[in-house]
Amino acid sequence: MSLTPLDTYPFSPLHPVWSLSPLNPQVVASVSTTKIALNNQSFSTPHTRTIRAIHARNGKLVTAGFDGKVCVWNVEEKLEGMEEAESDEEDEEEVEEFGRAVGKDNGIGEKTIASKQDTDELHTNNQRKRKLRLTATLEGHESEVKHVAFSDDARRIATAGRDKTIWIWGIEEEEEDDEEWECLQVLQTHTQDVKYVTFHPTDDAMILSAAYDDTCIIHTEDNDGSGDWNAAGTAKGHSATVWAAEFNTDGTLFASCSADQSVKIWSHESKTQHNFVHSLHLLSCRGQEYPDDSRYSERT
C-alpha cells in the first residue's frame, strides 16, 4: 500500500505537534506549544504551558495542557468577505453579493456573479474564515492533564491526569456566550499517571482509560439514576506503561499499545444487567513478546 500526503501544515515557528483530531473531513485540529491550529490557521490560547491533547466533536474543541487547564471551544466559520446574516433571505443576498465580489470580469469593466460551482470551489479550497470562541475553562487537576475526550454527543468530557485521576465533566446548560460545565465525578482507580481516556463510541456511560500502572480500566456509570461511576473491569497483561487504548467502531473490542513493545486486542462483555462487572478477554497480541506469527493469537 502506498500512502501519499495530501497536505502539510507546519507550525511556525516549528515545534513538535503533540496531538490532532479531525474537526470535519476537510479540517484537522492540532496543537503545539500553547497554540491550536485548524489546518494552517493558528490561534493563541490561555494555556500557559504546552497543550498536550485536543479532541474535536460536533463543532467543538477541547484542549488539555501541562498547566492543568482544560479549555472548551466553539469553532465558528464563514466565507471570507461575508458578514453574518440574521435571516435566510439576508444570507442569500450576502451569497449573491459575495458572488459579485469574486466573479469574473466580463470585459467591459463589470463583474459577473460567480456561479455556484465557483463558490463551491471556494468552500472546498479552504476559503473559510474560522475563529475559536472559548466557552469554558475547567480546572481541578493538581498537575498536568495528559489526555482529554468528548463523549459522542459532546455533552460530557473525560480528562486524564498525572495526579492519577480521571475527571468526568457534564454540561448543565448552554448560554449564548458560555457553557456551564460541572464535575460529575473524580475517579481514582489507577495507581499511577493516567495517560489516555476515551468514551465508548455508542455508550456515553462507559469510559476506557490507560495508565502508567500497566493497565487499562473500563469504567461505567450506574444506571440506577445515582450518577455514580465505578471501575467495571481491569485489563492486565502489559508489562510496561500503556500509552493509549481505543475502542473499535461498535465498541465490542478495544486495542491497547504499550512501552512493552506490544499491541493487545481485548474483548469485553457485561456480566450483570447494570454493567458493573465486565469480563475482559485478551484476543491477540502483536509485538516483540511474540515474534513467531504462530503465537500471534492468545486466548485467556
Rounded CA separation 283/292 (Å): 16
Rounded CA separation 196/243 (Å): 7
Most confident of 31-45, 123-137, 181-195: 181-195
- Is residue 132 within 8 Å of residue 43, measured between CB atoms? yes
Largest CA distance in the chain: 79
Q: What is the pLDDT of residues 153-162, one digit of tens each?
A: 999 999 999 9
- Is residue 273 within 8 Å of residue 248, measured between CB atoms? no
**Banded model confidence at residue 16, pLDDT cuts 50, 70, 90:** confident
C-alpha cell at position 107 = 470585459
CB-CB neighbours of 271 under 10 Å:
13
Coil, helix or strand for 70? strand
Q: What is the pLDDT of residues 105-142, one digit of tens each?
A: 444 444 444 444 444 444 444 456 789 999 999 999 99
**Which residues touch 200 (CB under 8 Å, ≥6 apart)?**
206, 207, 208, 247, 251
Extended strands (E) in 25-178? 27-32, 35-38, 41-44, 51-57, 60-65, 69-79, 128-139, 145-150, 156-161, 166-174
Q: What is the pLDDT at residue 8? A: 81
- Using the structure block, give the residue that is written with the C-alpha cell 505537534: 17
Of 163, 250, 276, the residue nearest 212 (C-alpha) = 163
Q: What is the pLDDT at residue 282? A: 56
195 has a pLDDT exceeding 70: yes
Q: What is the pLDDT at residue 124? A: 43
Q: What is the pLDDT of residues 268-285, one digit of tens each?
A: 765 443 333 444 555 555
Q: What is the pLDDT at residue 13? A: 62
Of 163, 162, 159, the residue nearest 198 (C-alpha) = 159
Q: What is the pLDDT of residues 49-108, one digit of tens each?
A: 999 999 999 999 999 999 999 999 999 976 555 454 444 454 444 444 444 444 444 444
Model pTM score: 0.75
Coil, helix or strand for 166? strand
CB-CB neighbours of 260 under 10 Å:
18
- Is residue 148 within 8 Å of residue 70, measured between CB atoms? yes
200 has a pLDDT exceeding 90: yes
**Domains in the chain and their CATH numbers?**
1-78+132-188 (2.130.10.10), 81-126 (no CATH), 192-300 (2.130.10.10)
